[in-house]
Amino acid sequence: MLIPHDTRIALDTVVDLLNTAPESAGGDSLGDIPSLYAFVRGHDVSGVGRLGEPDLTAVRDLRKRFAAIFAAPDTRTAAELVNRLVAGAGTTPQLTDHDGYDWHVHYFAPGASVADHLAADCGMALAFIVVAGERERLRRCEAPDCGRAFVDLSRNRSRRYCDSRTCGNRLHVAAYRARRKEAAG
């Protein structure tokens, strides 16, 4: 699957935002405005000015909407959720080649709030995944004590665990067992 550079960055942002939530991190790591600044800086979200309490609330609401898209029971539901998200964010598609990247499209409107910025660009990245027929790659880790979000980019869509330290180990053990079984059979 060929995912454009910016789409991949946007998908990483969705996953990282989901994983700040209590259900996947054991405590909300987006609990205050400094942590929102850190998140925004860590993900190179451009054109962000002063952030306040309304931004924090809006980004946490957005996180719930991304979670619903990941949990959507079918593609039609996911498509409707993405449509509503993107429509509400007031997108303005703009071609850009900033910072040495090749031409790509930004979707957020000039002067958008950080939540609308993320809703527009991450929403369109999710739209791209739906269009590509790859929605089932939006996953939650199956480890019983985990539940972190990830995007399965493996060729055969077989990834079941996230790459956190504990689950990554599990992943290696499972791969090792599979190889041994294959060698034995």
- Using the contact rule CB under 5 A, the part of the chain among 69-77, 110-118, 119-127, 133-141 near Zn ion is 133-141
| Residue 87: both structure tokens together | 């429509």
For residue 164, which of 140, 130, 181 has the smallest C-alpha distance? 140
Minimum Å gap between C-beta 12 and Zn ion is 13
Owner of token pair 């998140």: 39
105, exposed or middle or buried, with CB in 10 Å at 0-12, 13-18, 19+?
A: middle
Minimum Å gap between C-beta 166 and Zn ion is 7
Q: Is 105 in the site for Zn ion (CB under 5 A)?
A: no
Binding mask 140-179 for Zn ion (x = CB under 5 A): -x-x--x-x-------------x-x--x------------
128, exposed or middle or buried, with CB in 10 Å at 0-12, 13-18, 19+?
A: middle
Owner of token pair 């979000």: 149
- Please, which residue, 40 or 141, has the CB nearer to Zn ion? 141
User: Which residues here bind Zn ion, judged by CB under 5 A?
Assistant: 6, 141, 143, 146, 148, 162, 164, 167
